[in-house]
Amino acid sequence: MRQYKNLCGFNKLVGFFFFVIIIISISGCSLGDAFVNVFDDDNNSDFGEGYSYIGTSFNYGDGQLPTKFLQNNIFLNNSVEISDTINISNDVNLVDYFFYFNAFSNEDPQYKEKKYYNSTLILPAEDIDYTYEEQYPTVSIDSSGTDFFHVNTYEFPNHRSNYFFNSVSQASNVVCVEGDYIFCSNIYGLGGFSDRAKIVSPNRANKYNFPIIATVLTPTPLGDRDIIGLARNGVPLAQRLPNTKEDYHDLKSRLDEYYGYPADSGYFYFAEPTYFTGYEDASYFFGYDYTYFQDEVDSSKSVSRSDLIGIALDGFPIYGPIEYGIQEKVPYDLDTCRGHVGPTGDKFSNTYHYHIKPVEYIEDGDENFFIECFSGTLVD
Ligand SMILES: [Zn+2]
């Protein structure tokens, strides 16, 4: 664990308040930098020495139906239309970066080298709009069991993704040679992705089980579980793709602005779902057009990195990497699974919850991208 204390070196100057203010204004450092920052920037064992919350629990059936509590406090209730449009001809310099990809060119060795550009299928420099419209279906919750509830989800995002553009059909005035062509681009942030992946909604909802009473016990390793929980929109929080076993590191150059990627059907998050935390990686995802979560109850509330992002399979809620109410600070008292008891600013305040790893501190070799282990028990 690295600790960066008093990044601007002000700790010996606290008695000279005005002098500090002057230094801050000269250096450009914010007051937030002057607090202690604790970063999790290596593999599993940054936190947890000496912190244990064994025995603490949360009962989703305490005083009300779990379904009602879950729909009011975790999962989203509103079905939404998702749409986006680009017109590359607005910028002639962009035209060379857009093309149609032959569905069979997966066999092309250039594809495997990630040199996707195919000059024979460049789009004409004409005024063509590329538009998609999708419908986000909400999750449904069934709590008919006495010990667990299950969440049925189509694993579909409720926000834009450039992967939706990969389903846009070819323009009528583009002549392709054969087969199923997919609209792609070679640059981030504009158009689809040139690996041809696209988001396809499952034809039926997938079911995930959670205990009604979540209790912290001896930690359970994540093991070979591909999915460790669900985000608030029902999108799985994935350690890796189930079929190819590709993880965050393998997919990094292909993830969209929310660190999401299409699964065989549906769509998974592979690291901090920035739609819910508001984090923007301007260096890596330059050019992306981020949209963020809008609270369904209070639309004036802006997202932050201490917000609720979902629920782990052991029933405990998962939050962004920053502690509620403390600017730019990761909690100091996390246990080995990245959980603790503390304020959350919502209905889970002073109950056990996880804080995910900050995406900007995932390093080569890291394996766990949301939590380190399950503190509670799993249903299946
Ligand atoms: Zn917390």
**Distance from C-alpha of 266 to C-alpha of 205, rounded to nearest angstrom:** 10
Burial class (CB in 10 A: 0-12, 13-18, 19+), 284: middle
**Span from the CA of 38 to the centroid of ligand 1 (angstroms):** 14
372 CA distance to ligand 1 centroid (A)?
Answer: 15
Question: Are residues 369 and 228 located together in one domain of the fold?
Answer: yes
**Percentage with pLDDT > 70 across the chain:** 72
Q: Could you tell me the CA-to-CA distances from 127 to 17, 89, 95, 320 in Å, in that order?
A: 59, 5, 11, 42
Rounded to the nearest integer, the mean pLDDT of the chain is 79
Q: Does a structural domain hold residue 2?
A: yes
**Is 135 within the bounds of a domain?**
no
353 in a domain, yes or no? yes
Please tell me whether residues 174 and 301 are part of one structural domain: no
Q: What is the mean pLDDT of residues 122-144?
A: 81
Q: What's the pLDDT at 34?
A: 28
How much distance in Å is there from the Cα of 354 to the middle of ligand 1? 7
The count of structural domains within the chain is: 3
Residues 6+ apart with CB under 8 A from 72: none
If asked whether residues 234 and 335 sit together in one domain, one would say yes
Nearest to 234 by CA among 192, 277, 276, 287: 276
Note whether 185 and 320 are same-domain residues: no
Taking the mean position of all CA atoms in its chain, how far away is CA 340? 21
Q: Give the domain extent around 63.
A: 43-78+201-374
Instruction: Give me ligand 1 centre to Cα 218, in Å.
Output: 20
Asked if residue 358 and residue 233 are part of one domain, the reply reads yes
Looking at the structure, tell me whether residues 358 and 230 fall in a common domain: yes
Q: Are residues 282 and 171 in the same domain?
A: no
**311: CA distance to ligand 1 center in Å?**
14
8 Å CB contact between 367 and 44: yes
Residues 210 and 111 placed together within one structural domain of the fold: no
How many whole angstroms from 277 Cα to the centroid of ligand 1?
14
Tell me the two tokens of residue 112: 């495997």
Decide if 112 is inside a domain: yes
* 7 DSSP assignment: T
Ligand 1 geometric centre to CA of 124 (Å): 52
Same domain for 369 and 225, yes or no, is yes
What is the per-residue pLDDT for 126?
Answer: 61
Looking at the structure, do residues 11 and 57 belong to the same domain, yes or no?
A: no
Cα(351)–Cα(347) distance, integer angstroms: 9
Which of 152, 170, 163 minimizes the C-alpha distance to 200? 163
pLDDT at 203: 86
Q: How far is the CA of 342 from the centre of ligand 1 (A)?
A: 5
> How does residue 13 score in pLDDT terms, banded at 50, 70 and 90?
very low
pLDDT at position 306: 96
Q: For 355-369, what is the mean pLDDT? A: 93
